[in-house]
């Protein structure tokens, strides 16, 4: 993979436009939330302001009660005095209601029709809110008759006033409330914006930039995020991201190594196939040699070379998604195991016993070539485990046998008397390049065996039953009827 010359990306790639930033949206949402709360506060507040304004207007009528006391003494207001009183109170009519009587103090000559009447004593909260907004949104001039208690409550005042001064005062009050709310909302929004931007968004942007940089070249260890010492959720996210990037970078390096290895194997395979073809031509001539030993081992050698040529043609089969589809046939498993034993390079002085305990007449439904590979890998691993032990007193035996724990399931067991598998091999069993049973191994044998068994619809596992050695169990679905078992071969 060609590495980029510059890991940095344009700023627009890691930071969106201002209107699309999370901080901008949080600021707008904060302002809108505070303004919504202010509206809920404004509704009863404007109604209360209207009631207070009207109540103050009634209180001014109490001053006129002094004039009424003089009128009882025979002093009556002249038209000019009435006009001055109405002008001072900004009213069109002033009257006082006492128990049993009503006294008109002043009345404008051009008094028109009253449009609405407000009695503060009987007006409820809901009606006060409705009347307040009706005053705010009514633009035409209206006359209202205001009635309410004044003084100690024994006297009721009555005033007819123009609604426009009240509406003007309410609009000024609403404007002041709006400006104050905007100021509070903006100030609070900026505080929230600054706090979130400092404690949350800046670390998130740093994580985003780290992800973008790492994406340009995941195999470069210099681009792995260096986590901070934060102890909050973002600190945990940084450490988890750094760990994930390290694992991913290591995995990519291994995958590149495997790709290079596959290329090398394909080149070796090409030359090896030519060498094996030459060896096959030479082995064919051994058939004409009259020596008894040659006649005995020549067929085994020829079959082995044929298999080797076939393997070189499909040596990269493991690199594909899966093994080829099994070509199932009715096979005598005893003969397959016997042929596997014949191909094992076990020196006579090694003292390793290969025991074929499969019944001679047992027939199974499987692909003989694929299962030859699977069982051969298991037997070869067992032989290699026994070769490392030089103690002559130790029993060295590799056994292949069958069990039938269920009527439609056949169990093939490959076990040895060796030292067994270590914890590292058990943890990564059947994993290529990780699940090797010996030092220096690749683990491909077990991986190939597991894939072949799964292709046959079976299951392979390492049994923990024996106290020593290794015991691999293969469970296969076997639909063939169980024949009468002949005596087992050795």
Kind and range of the H or E run holding 358: none
Look at strands 93-98 and 101-107 and give their pairing.
antiparallel
User: Residue 460 pLDDT > 60, yes or no?
Assistant: yes
8 A C-beta contact, residue 53 and residue 166: yes
What DSSP state is assigned to residue 73?
T
The token pair that represents 378 in the structure block: 């298991």
Give every CB contact of residue 479 below 8 A, 6+ residues apart in sequence.
Answer: 365, 408
The token pair that represents 133 in the structure block: 């907004």
pLDDT digit string, tens, across residues 20-77: 666 677 778 888 888 888 888 888 999 999 999 998 888 877 766 655 555 555 446 6
More confident residue, 271 or 74: 271
Q: Give me the pLDDT at residue 321, please.
A: 42
Q: Quick one: average pLDDT of 250-263? A: 77
**How many Å apart are CA 189 and CA 192, to the nearest integer?**
5
Q: Determine how many CB atoms are found less than 10 A away from the CB of residue 256.
A: 12
Q: Give me the pLDDT at residue 74, please.
A: 46
CA distances from 211 to 20, 23, 178, 219, 225 (A): 20, 20, 44, 13, 8
**How many Å apart are CA 48 and CA 42, to the nearest integer?**
10
Q: Give me the pLDDT at residue 472, please.
A: 92
Q: Give me the pLDDT at residue 260, please.
A: 74
Q: Give me the pLDDT at residue 1, please.
A: 42
Of 56-70, 144-158, 340-354, 396-410, give the lowest mean pLDDT range: 56-70
Look at strands 397-406 and 409-416 and give their pairing.
antiparallel
Q: Quick one: average pLDDT of 133-144? A: 89
8 A C-beta contact, residue 456 and residue 367: yes
Q: Quick one: average pLDDT of 250-277? A: 71
Of 2-11, 193-202, 415-424, give the lowest mean pLDDT range: 2-11
Give every CB contact of residue 69 below 8 A, 6+ residues apart in sequence.
Answer: none
8 A C-beta contact, residue 228 and residue 238: yes
**How many Å apart are CA 95 and CA 104, to the nearest integer?**
4
Tell me the three state secondary structure of residue 474: strand
Q: Give me the pLDDT at residue 112, please.
A: 80
pLDDT digit string, tens, across residues 78-115: 777 778 778 877 888 888 887 777 778 788 888 888 88
pLDDT digit string, tens, across residues 475-488: 998 756 555 544 44
- Alpha-helical (H) ranges within 73-122 are 79-89
pLDDT digit string, tens, across residues 285-336: 666 677 776 666 667 776 676 666 666 655 555 445 445 688 889 999 999 9
- Alpha-helical (H) ranges within 99-201 are 125-137, 164-196
User: Residue 489 pLDDT > 90, yes or no?
Assistant: no
User: Residue 5 pLDDT > 60, yes or no?
Assistant: no
Q: Which of the four pLDDT bands, split at 50, 70 and 90, describes residue 443?
A: low
More confident residue, 216 or 165: 165
Q: Which of the four pLDDT bands, split at 50, 70 and 90, describes residue 6?
A: very low
Please state, for a pLDDT cut of 90, what percent of the chain lies above it: 11
CA distances from 327 to 76, 249, 480 (A): 128, 40, 16
Q: Give me the pLDDT at residue 175, please.
A: 92
- Mean pLDDT of the residues in the chain: 77
Kind and range of the H or E run holding 411: strand 409-416
Q: Quick one: average pLDDT of 368-387? A: 86
Q: Quick one: average pLDDT of 264-289? A: 64
Helices 368-387, 444-455: axis angle to 10 degrees equals: 150
CB burial class (10 A; 0-12, 13-18, 19+) of residue 330?
Answer: exposed
pTM metric for this prediction: 0.45
8 A C-beta contact, residue 204 and residue 234: yes
Instruction: Give every strand in the sheet of 143-150, ordered side by side.
Output: 101-107, 93-98, 155-162, 143-150, 116-119
- Alpha-helical (H) ranges within 286-367 are 292-313, 333-343
Q: Quick one: average pLDDT of 367-395? A: 83
Q: Give me the pLDDT at residue 14, please.
A: 52
Tell me the three state secondary structure of residue 382: helix
Helices 333-343, 292-313: axis angle to 10 degrees equals: 100
More confident residue, 190 or 441: 190
**How many Å apart are CA 351 and CA 356, to the nearest integer?**
16
Q: Which of the four pLDDT bands, split at 50, 70 and 90, describes residue 211?
A: confident
Q: Give me the pLDDT at residue 170, please.
A: 92
Helices 333-343, 368-387: axis angle to 10 degrees equals: 50
């Amino acid at each position: 993979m060609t590495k980029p010359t510059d890991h940095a990306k344009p700023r627009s790639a890691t930071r969106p436009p201002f209107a699309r930033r999370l901080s901008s949206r949080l600021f707008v949402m904060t302002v809108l939330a505070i303004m919504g709360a202010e509206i809920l506060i404004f509704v009863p507040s404007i109604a209360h302001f209207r009631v207070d304004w009207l109540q103050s207007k009634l209180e001014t009528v109490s001053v006129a009660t002094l004039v009424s006391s003089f009128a009882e003494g025979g002093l009556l207001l002249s038209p000019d005095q009435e006009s001055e009183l109405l002008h001072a109170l900004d009213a069109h009519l002033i009257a006082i209601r006492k128990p049993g009587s009503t006294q008109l103090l002043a009345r404008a000559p051009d008094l028109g029709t009253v449009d609405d009447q407000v009695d503060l004593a009987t007006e409820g909260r809901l009606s006060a809110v409705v009347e307040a907004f009706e005053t705010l949104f009514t633009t035409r001039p209206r006359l209202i008759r205001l009635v309410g208690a004044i003084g100690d409550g024994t006297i009721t005042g009555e005033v007819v006033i123009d609604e426009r001064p009240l509406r003007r005062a309410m609009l000024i009050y609403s404007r002041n409330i709006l400006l104050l709310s905007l100021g509070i909302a903006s100030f609070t929004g900026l505080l929230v914006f600054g706090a979130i931007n400092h404690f949350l968004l800046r670390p998130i942007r740093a994580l985003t930039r780290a992800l973008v940089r790492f994406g340009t070249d995941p195999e470069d260890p210099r681009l792995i995020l260096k986590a901070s010492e934060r102890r909050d959720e973002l600190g945990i996210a940084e450490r988890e991201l750094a760990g994930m990037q390290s694992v991913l970078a290591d995995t990519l390096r291994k995958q590149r190594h495997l790709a290079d290895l596959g290329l090398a194997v394909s080149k070796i395979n090409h030359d090896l196939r030519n060498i094996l073809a030459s060896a096959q031509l030479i082995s064919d001539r051994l058939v004409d040699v009259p020596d008894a030993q040659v006649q005995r081992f020549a067929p085994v050698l020829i079959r082995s070379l044929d298999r080797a040529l076939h393997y070189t043609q499909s040596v990269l089969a493991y690199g594909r998604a899966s093994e080829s589809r099994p070509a199932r046939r009715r096979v005598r498993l005893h003969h397959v195991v016997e042929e596997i034993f014949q191909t094992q390079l076990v020196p006579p002085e090694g003292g390793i016993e290969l025991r074929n305990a499969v019944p001679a007449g047992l027939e199974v439904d499987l692909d003989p070539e694929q299962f030859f590979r699977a069982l051969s890998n298991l037997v070869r691993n067992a032989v290699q485990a026994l070769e490392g032990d030089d103690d002559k007193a130790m029993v060295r035996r590799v056994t292949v046998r069958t069990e039938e724990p269920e009527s439609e399931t056949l169990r093939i067991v490959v076990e040895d008397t060796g030292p067994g598998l270590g914890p590292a091999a058990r943890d990564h069993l059947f994993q290529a390049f990780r699940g090797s049973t010996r030092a220096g191994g690749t683990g491909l044998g077990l991986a190939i065996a597991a894939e072949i068994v799964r292709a046959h619809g079976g299951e392979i596992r390492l049994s923990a039953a024996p106290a020593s050695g290794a015991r691999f169990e293969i469970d296969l679905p076997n639909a063939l009827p169980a024949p009468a078992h002949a005596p087992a071969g050795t």
